[in-house]
Amino acid sequence: MKNFFRFGFSAFFLGLFFISCNDDDDYQTIESIDKIKIDSVKIVNDTMDVFSIQSIKTYSTYPSHCEGFYGYDYVPNDNLTRTVTSYKYTTSGPCTQANYTSANQINFSPQQVGTYTFKFWNGGNNWITRTIVVE
């Protein structure tokens, strides 16, 4: 009985080894990360309370379905100014070459009273500027 248990236990782990070494590549690899301009910004409330949370939506247009939203570079330049740059990923593999627009969001939760200025990168030296008054 003891040998049967050892054999079963060994066979189980040997089976896991062969399953975990399966080399299926059913995913696409990220080839690069780059800036993508923010086409428009939607801020629902331009006035809010300290410590409350508001979602700020940004919209960007991607030239193919091999590209998508990767993340933001959100930089507080001083106490009340923020610059936001959006980044896209590009994957390998077959792509559908068709423009599509994607919406993404930042959750903003101010920690002090004041007028916050947001600058969203719109390509080159162009920025979309929005303000939120925090009371």
Cα separation, 113 vs 34, in Å, equals: 34
pTM for this entry: 0.78
77-120, pLDDT tens digit by residue?
888 999 999 999 999 878 888 999 999 999 999 999 999 999 99
Question: In this structure, are strands 30-36 and 100-108 parallel, antiparallel, or unpaired?
Answer: unpaired
If you average pLDDT over residues 43-69, what whole number do you get? Answer: 96
* Residue 77, domain member (yes or no): yes
CA distance 19 to 13: 10
Question: For residue 8, is it within any domain?
Answer: no
* CB 57 within 8 Å of CB 42: yes
The neighbouring-strand residues paired with 32 are 90
Residue 114 · residue 73 · CB < 8 Å: no
- Residue 133 pLDDT greater than 70, yes or no: yes
Domain presence at residue 7 = no
Q: Find the domain containing 40 and state its range.
A: 28-134
Whether 98 maps to a domain, the answer reads yes
Q: How many domains does the chain have?
A: 1
Chain centroid to CA 77: how far?
21
Does residue 99 form part of some domain? Answer: yes
Name the band, by pLDDT with cuts 50, 70 and 90, for residue 3.
low
Q: Band the pLDDT of 39: cuts 50, 70, 90.
A: very high
Q: In the chain, count H helices and then E strands.
A: 1, 9
Contact 58, 37 (CB under 8 A): no
Q: What angle do CA 76, 77, 79 make, to 5 degrees?
A: 70
pLDDT of residue 23: 53
Q: What is the DSSP letter of 124?
A: T
CATH code (residue 66): 2.60.40
**In this predicted structure, what is the pLDDT of residue 2?**
53
